[in-house]
Amino acid sequence: MVIQAEGVVKSYGQSVAVDHIDLNINQGDIHGVLGPEGSGKSTLIACLLSLIEYDSGEVKIFDQYMGLNQPDLKRRIGLVTKQEVFFQELRVVDNLSYFAALYEDRKKERQRIVSEVLEFTGLVEFSRFYPKDLSSGIRRVLNFACGIVHKPELLILDEPLFHADAESRQQILQCIIALNKHGTTILLCSGSMEEMEQICSRITMLDKGKVLAEGSRQELKGMINVREKINLGLVSPTPKVINQIQNLPFVHSVSLHKDGLEIRSKKGSQNLIELLEYLREEKIEFRNISSDEPTLNDVYFEMTGKDLREKER
């Protein structure tokens, strides 16, 4: 077991930021912690790494109790946050050399490591640039590169794609996947369901500092009543027609948006067919219809009544 956390609690006055959290992450996992801003993700990371003193519970990393003065253990861990950790006055290559020097004294070995990381993250062409001359996306890649320069066995990521554009986002995600294939265990904390859907093998959902649910993507989606989402573009979306559709036995809920109706159907295998038959029988005209499986946001919304992008209060 790479991370074992049991009953971890952290409070700030009357506010409980981390509320009796258990977390178990196995070697080779890409484990996601998913929740909106303010749900306790960053505080949980700080507790796991003993960056702050928590109230109760215990944490083991690589089967060792985590404490403040354990440099050998911390050398095995990489941390990437949404805050930029690099130096503005240093070029990309010099930033990486600085962070490599924290772990490697030999100059030639540092040069080899830096060259390898530049190649791995796609930063070779930017190696002589200063951060101020980089796009926000490339700055995110540099921030990521600084956190992995020592080839950590455990990589902890806290909103690593913050302000990343689409190209840099995919670049970082592909690096995460590649690191994992070479044996790095990943803990990814984010409020973005898209990256969780793309790369995480297991996901823990947080709500107000508590574990809401935990499982694989499919296990989480199986916990809710919605089986699929049907998008229906009606020619005349009158209140009467919408109410009729809402009352169909397989319909969980209906919402109106600019492109038509979003129909959340209950568990079943013939929902789309039944809807099409109903529309034909009632001679209800529609422009288009499509079906998608529920997302992790749908899971979170059904369990909490909140959207993942909604800040906790």
Model-level pTM? Answer: 0.88
More confident residue, 303 or 258: 303
**What's phi and psi for 10, nearest 5 deg?**
-140, 125
Which class is domain 226-293?
A: alpha beta
Cα–Cα distance for residue pair 250/87, rounded to 1 Å = 57
Q: CA–CA distance from 209 to each of 11, 17, 38, 150, 204 (Å)?
A: 10, 5, 8, 31, 12
* pLDDT tens per residue across span 197-234: 999 999 999 999 999 999 999 999 989 888 888 999 99
User: Does residue 141 have a pLDDT over 90?
Assistant: yes
- Alpha-carbon distance of 36 to 255, in angstroms, equals 22
Its CATH architecture, for the domain 3-221, is 3-Layer(aba) Sandwich (3.40)
Burial of 91 per CB tally in 10 Å (0-12, 13-18, 19+): middle
For residue 251 the two structure tokens come to 């319909």
What mean pLDDT is reported for the chain? 93
d(CA 235, CA 288): 9
Please state the domain extents for the chain. Answer: 3-221, 226-293
